[in-house]
Structure 1
């Protein structure tokens, strides 16, 4: 970074500190109910204080802050609070890593996050860590200029909050949404507890899939093949095992099985009576023949290196007609095995897997996986079970399996799974579909069939229907994520809601369990509305009985009786209830796209379960991730940029604009040093220019054009802000408006006069009002330097003044810019030797012809229809009409509308801007003539309306 930029960063940091002090001392963001004003309540996901904040936090909280500031300027009474998520395993696991002396983590804390060495050892205490990083997060967000009401801050281990969560779970239980059941869950085999997204490294949600285990009998025991596609079992041609893995004999369900040792160890978490009996000689397995339980046919056991011992059982059934991987391997190894087709796809004679592999021989695993996905999807959606399956089925099964013929793949899958289990020839098992998923302790998670555990029953159809209803009436930004929420609501089933390890609230009816972190963070937004009043009144957790919560959140009970029983003053209870009713429902919830399958969907489910419809949340805003120099930030890459270091390096407003303007909402933003420096330079220019505005009082085309551009920008930015299209907003406010100002200054300079001071000032003031939500510190500083004593938070958001949109000046300047581009193009051809330009504009009647053609095109008429209807009387007229129609057809819609509104006097416009054209092109002179002068000057060219003929006079 050069010296000028470094010096300006120092200026930005001083400005930020100055205004943060003003906002804090003035309690600017302390929000209280005001019945005279419309309210807007928004929240962002509260952070786990298990590490310092990085650039990703700037986006989640920054997007919410931009929205909060914008809504304040729109006249809303805005509440934007933040608490801290202490519960669950993230903090305690990170503390354990410090206690174990994790060198990588300790080095990152020192070198990337700048944590003093004497503090690091103290982070081994989970509560010290939580409070230390809570303060770090608060400091970073304050330095970023977040407009938060810190009076409402709380942690999820506060006794009063635990009382709130206890009430929530009792309500869910009363409504039948908490059940004790047996269900598969992600599981840490070391700490023996369920794991969810926030319990895993990288915050990965364990995805559990159901497999069907099919029993292939041999003389030495059963080979259990795990499959997601039991409908293909009639087409099995062999059994794969991995020659590099150890296989063992296992007793399970009273039978003897043979499977990979690693698979057996893992499967023991699902099957209570599983017991490893003995090791199995690998070579002996290859001598076996395995009996297909549905066909009674014996198939060979063949070794295959691709078999994963940790997926299923390490025993795989091969169906090459329907599995590209199998067919490719058989073909590659030259195995004499014939594919057996059991699924028909309309229009396909050859099995689809065979056809695709033969037509598009895959070059690697990635291409094979793509072919596999194509086959599976096509067969699932279009496939029907072949009539051949009856001939393949063993005689004793044919009558019962006759229903398979013509059945869809989905129907056949369910039918055959049920049949195999009923006949004792199979069972269900569960597998981690996105493995490996690691617990925060570092161990790979497994799937455990958890018995007698407490679950939130998100599979409850009544609950799903309420959640669908809530989602349907909710606004989502971006709207494209709706399908992800719809999928999540349908996909969610029972979810373990308690742990035996970590900080948090005990399960009300079973104190041995702690409510897990994604289950206690679903309706906590309601707690923000009255936590300050509760704290100020000195209310203790013991006073917060279920009756108190019923009154505060549901309006149930008599306030006098509730007051008497809880010893909470009646006026305090009433105030808290009124605060809740004023702020609720939540108007906007902000979080990352990775939380759609869990937290954000749970947020929908729990609000639908607890609150009446009029208190359901109104909107969810989902943002993407933040990349750093094109890569995801991670400990392994050591490319994490801490938020506080980024602020020190570039300044808070630079970071805000670069992160928030780097991509549209919902997509990933890429923070780069070059982008940050570009933004920094734009801010420096704006800061310095705003302090040097002087000029005249002249108002002419350039002034009308500048004010028109400003009004159009106000309209565009306002529309974009409503949709939080912050990339568009940033590009307009940081780059486009500067271009307009500089272009205007060139126009008046070319006209040998000064700029209009009043208009420039008005332009800058409107500009920084719109910039304020994204870059609040420098905007407020410029506003103040212009002599204003008010805070921009209290200023009204600019409104587009249509009366100042000047179509004629817009068209004039657009015409001149197009002309400049054409002259430059010609100069490139002639090598830049030109000194003068003679420009010949079309006759005004040709302009009328152009307007008439545009009107006809607006009515949907085509070229032929126009030529026939307008009837040119000679070849010359026909040629002109053809060229005008082509010209009009190629015009952008916006330009067409301007041409319709104004029959531009091109000669006058060029004459007025001749000096500007010369300045921009480097010519010594620019002269404009009527088209009739071309014959006089011996020019053999033609001109069209808005497209004049250009002649350049070159040197020599």
Structure 2
């Protein structure tokens, strides 16, 4: 073998070897135990970044390790290929979105291959290709037939910069999640999926996900936001109606001093009509309607309101309470109206203080006098009911039960469960997405495109114009079709689907990626599902993961798949930072993966990014760390060569004491690495253990002229196997240098020997009056008397004990012997 390790001399060779020999091809085989490992597939932007490298390297280690452990491993890759950037490129540069996307895919695929990733490329999918989006359309139709897809007029989040609608989840602090521009409101007819029908299951089944990070489950729980409360109504005599409210604190109903309606509430128009200040009220309503939901409900937003001049009657106290309109109430959340009990709700208290509305405490806390001047957050809490008529003296919980029962008896209310989760808005007014397979007939109305006409293909004769209509509406060939029911003229739906639809089922398509008869075969999908280990960024904790869970539950109910959850285990890797900041072109702190691979090799890039920090923590890039990883691989290269030469000398026989200790270190490291990879994904500590083994091998070589041939072969073989999942190219080269003819990645994972870990002798520190004076080696079976005898025989110890009285001897087994003298 070459004296020096040069990554560029070997990496391309082994990548070609793996491709030629289909090393990572996976077959459906029920006789084998499966393991499905998956990294979140990327958007094909054209270039990998270090976050990608970290994500893929983690998944690759898991896949290679599990294969060596004997599992039938599925490890696929594909492309989340629809979306706005491709369309924006088309508008800006005149490049067809399809061409831009496919070119980027080829470039990124070459970069992935250069990292030596063990993907089964025969399963590659791209969501923009017809053989994929045909089945996305088919799945949409199954949702439609089950009553889970519907269209309605709605006020939606509109990004003028991206010219599209955004789901609430895609609006972050009032800004578009992609372009960071301000989001506005528009009234449009939109498609939705009834994810709220699955709210209970999505929430309850989080408790079954034992291998998910707690913080991800908490984020989903908060987003779903289930609350137990009471829905009841206030009479509004002026319009002879009852206005419904929902509250989790019906025990505070006697403290209600006002009611607030959303500006869009159906009663608003009737309540403000004919009032003296009608023009002012209408101007206020219009201004509130044009604010974004985020701006209106933000905790930092100023609460604004106007009194309508109308009153409602409190169903418990009989008091008249004023009806206001305010910005912080949304028509599509709850009932579109809320009761204001300012003594026990911070938002209501702020509103009441601003507009000088009554504040009446109705819950008392023992030992605490209510103070309007110093409003305390403890006033949120339960306590003892006061100022509430017949309910005085009850606990808050008892009051809630009693008042809810009273409302039920009167027929004006009931106990109810509410959710923060809203139905999933999936309409997008863009071209580069999956066309919604629906058409509209003047006589027959809304119709699904027949399944045998799928896919509804994206046309090429479109104009990319800005506005609230899809570019698909500019294509006459696409727009005009035939009604599948009456045969008359019909118009196709011009909205496309949210790209999160594509990523909500791609893991199922991977199981049967070349199937042209169905989205996936149930028997095959049932063998591979669930995904055993899913790996991706924490930024997808709500959007993608929640939608994927929803999809799988629907497909389970449709009988298409046995799994009820998509991902058994979830690992959210940390970000790659440089100088403490996220890498970005604007900051000028981007490190190119290609540059690192070209300079040091893929194995160095992988080793550094896996060793530098625990996988779930942020990693700060270090050029010195990269160089250190490269030097370590050079040390591995040289020590393998040295021990190979030693083994060729054929020195055999019983192991010396030093050789026995070295073999013990080998098996300790095998045990440590196995446990780290099997249980906790502690890649950094696993690599550290391998480094300790390499150091031990060097120390032995430096002190000894020879090494037992059998031990040398055992050491070199197992060192290569232990490093194989982390650094696949150098280990493949070294494996063949050791005389093997098949791939190192097809070998069984090494198993440590318990007997080899047994220690015959241990080193003890000997202290005199608490200070270490010497170290002695004793048999692990030595008695207290034998240890004392050895300790006192030490010349160094004698210097501090001769002529003195020994008060006592303290022995801590395996650690120290402390002699106390006077």
**TM-score category (smaller protein):** 0.5 to 0.7
Matched, 1:507 2:437: yes
SS at match of 1:723: helix
Alignment of 1:306-455 (within 5 A): 321-323=343-345, 340-344=360-364, 347=366, 349-351=368-370, 379=381, 383=382, 386-390=385-389, 406-407=396-397
Q: CA deviation at 1:233?
A: 7.0
Contact map agreement 1:68 1:80 (CA 8 A) in 2: yes
Distance in 1 separating the partners of 2:727 and 2:777: 48
Q: CA deviation at 1:798?
A: 0.3
Q: 1:264 aligns with which of 289, 306, 325?
A: 289
Structure 1 residues 72 and 706: alpha-carbon distance in aligned structure 2, compared to 1, 3 A threshold: same
Contact map agreement 1:210 1:228 (CA 8 A) in 2: no
Q: CA deviation at 1:147?
A: 0.8
Matched, 1:193 2:138: no
Q: Which residue number in structure 2 is paired with residue 782 of structure 1?
A: 734
SS at match of 1:692: helix
Distance in 2 separating the partners of 1:310 and 1:406: 26
Alignment of 1:100-179 (within 5 A): 121=93, 124-174=95-145, 176=146, 178-179=148-149
Matched, 1:624 2:573: yes
- Deviation digits for residues 360-399 of structure 1 (CA, Å, limit 9, x no counterpart): xxxxxxxxxxxx6x875xx3xxx257232449xxxxxxxx
Q: Which residue number in structure 2 is paired with residue 180 of structure 1?
A: 150
Matched, 1:495 2:511: no
Structure 2 stretches lacking a partner, 5+ long: 181-219, 273-280, 297-302, 332-336, 439-447, 450-491
Q: Which residue number in structure 2 is paired with residue 914 of structure 1?
A: none
TM-score normalised according to structure 1 size: 0.57
Alignment of 1:457-496 (within 5 A): 494-496=423-425
Q: Which residue number in structure 2 is paired with residue 682 of structure 1?
A: 632
SS at match of 1:187: strand
Contact map agreement 2:39 2:55 (CA 8 A) in 1: yes
Distance in 2 separating the partners of 1:159 and 1:679: 44
Distance in 1 separating the partners of 2:754 and 2:670: 10
SS at match of 2:571: strand
Distance in 2 separating the partners of 1:409 and 1:187: 40
Distance in 2 separating the partners of 1:185 and 1:763: 68
Q: Which residue number in structure 2 is paired with residue 67 of structure 1?
A: 62
Alignment of 1:774-813 (within 5 A): 774-809=726-761, 811-812=762-763
Distance in 1 separating the partners of 2:407 and 2:86: 45
Q: 1:928 aligns with which of 794, 798, 801?
A: 794
Contact map agreement 1:214 1:225 (CA 8 A) in 2: yes
- Deviation digits for residues 462-486 of structure 1 (CA, Å, limit 9, x no counterpart): xxxxxxxxxxxxxxxxxxxxxxxxx
Distance in 1 separating the partners of 2:407 and 2:154: 18
Matched, 1:80 2:75: yes
Q: Which residue number in structure 2 is paired with residue 658 of structure 1?
A: 608
Distance in 2 separating the partners of 1:99 and 1:781: 45
Alignment of 1:496-645 (within 5 A): 496-501=425-430, 502-507=432-437, 509=448, 511-512=492-493, 513-532=495-514, 548-549=517-518, 553-554=521-522, 587-597=532-542, 598-602=546-550, 604-609=552-557, 610-613=559-562, 619-629=568-578, 630-633=580-583, 637=587, 639-645=589-595
Q: CA deviation at 1:944?
A: 3.8
Q: Aligned pairs, how many?
A: 673
Q: Which residue number in structure 2 is paired with residue 865 of structure 1?
A: none
Contact map agreement 2:158 2:164 (CA 8 A) in 1: yes
Distance in 2 separating the partners of 1:843 and 1:734: 28
Contact map agreement 2:254 2:387 (CA 8 A) in 1: no
Structure 1 residues 713 and 267: alpha-carbon distance in aligned structure 2, compared to 1, 3 A threshold: closer
Contact map agreement 1:226 1:316 (CA 8 A) in 2: yes
Q: CA deviation at 1:404?
A: 10
Higher helix share: 1
Distance in 2 separating the partners of 1:239 and 1:180: 32
Distance in 2 separating the partners of 1:133 and 1:226: 52
Distance in 2 separating the partners of 1:26 and 1:196: 48
Structure 1 stretches lacking a partner, 5+ long: 1-6, 102-120, 241-246, 272-281, 358-371, 392-400, 429-458, 460-486, 535-543, 556-578, 827-836, 851-902, 911-926, 952-956
Structure 1 residues 603 and 767: alpha-carbon distance in aligned structure 2, compared to 1, 3 A threshold: farther
Deviates further, 224-233 or 679-688: 224-233
Distance in 2 separating the partners of 1:848 and 1:709: 26
TM-score normalised according to structure 2 size: 0.65
Distance in 2 separating the partners of 1:410 and 1:716: 56
- After superposition, the CA RMSD in angstroms is 5.8
- Deviation digits for residues 562-586 of structure 1 (CA, Å, limit 9, x no counterpart): xxxxxxxxxxxxxxxxx66765665
- Deviation digits for residues 483-522 of structure 1 (CA, Å, limit 9, x no counterpart): xxxx9xx975632344443421433516514343222333
Structure 1 residues 81 and 134: alpha-carbon distance in aligned structure 2, compared to 1, 3 A threshold: same
Contact map agreement 1:907 1:930 (CA 8 A) in 2: no
Q: CA deviation at 1:633?
A: 4.1
Distance in 1 separating the partners of 2:360 and 2:728: 68
Matched, 1:26 2:21: yes
Distance in 2 separating the partners of 1:284 and 1:328: 12
Matched, 1:765 2:734: no
Distance in 1 separating the partners of 2:304 and 2:509: 65
Matched, 1:705 2:661: yes
Q: CA deviation at 1:142?
A: 0.9
Structure 1 residues 950 and 771: alpha-carbon distance in aligned structure 2, compared to 1, 3 A threshold: farther
- Deviation digits for residues 714-763 of structure 1 (CA, Å, limit 9, x no counterpart): 22222221235133554444543344435555xx73xx765556534422
Q: CA deviation at 1:601?
A: 2.0
Structure 1 residues 505 and 729: alpha-carbon distance in aligned structure 2, compared to 1, 3 A threshold: farther
Q: CA deviation at 1:69?
A: 0.9
Structure 1 residues 193 and 948: alpha-carbon distance in aligned structure 2, compared to 1, 3 A threshold: closer
Distance in 2 separating the partners of 1:790 and 1:180: 56
Q: CA deviation at 1:341?
A: 2.4
Q: Which residue number in structure 1 is paired with residue 195 of structure 2?
A: none
Deviates further, 777-786 or 732-741: 732-741
Contact map agreement 2:364 2:385 (CA 8 A) in 1: yes
SS at match of 1:83: coil
Q: Which residue number in structure 2 is paired with residue 244 of structure 1?
A: none
Contact map agreement 1:634 1:640 (CA 8 A) in 2: yes
Distance in 1 separating the partners of 2:403 and 2:603: 57
Contact map agreement 1:841 1:906 (CA 8 A) in 2: no
SS at match of 2:760: helix
Structure 1 residues 781 and 411: alpha-carbon distance in aligned structure 2, compared to 1, 3 A threshold: farther
Matched, 1:57 2:39: no
Distance in 1 separating the partners of 2:372 and 2:588: 42
Contact map agreement 1:140 1:644 (CA 8 A) in 2: yes
Deviates further, 508-517 or 13-22: 508-517
Q: CA deviation at 1:769?
A: 0.8
Contact map agreement 2:531 2:569 (CA 8 A) in 1: no
- Deviation digits for residues 640-661 of structure 1 (CA, Å, limit 9, x no counterpart): 4444344346532233233334
Structure 1 residues 608 and 530: alpha-carbon distance in aligned structure 2, compared to 1, 3 A threshold: closer
Distance in 1 separating the partners of 2:780 and 2:595: 65
Distance in 2 separating the partners of 1:386 and 1:841: 74
Deviates further, 690-699 or 144-153: 690-699
Q: CA deviation at 1:189?
A: 5.5
Contact map agreement 2:690 2:719 (CA 8 A) in 1: no
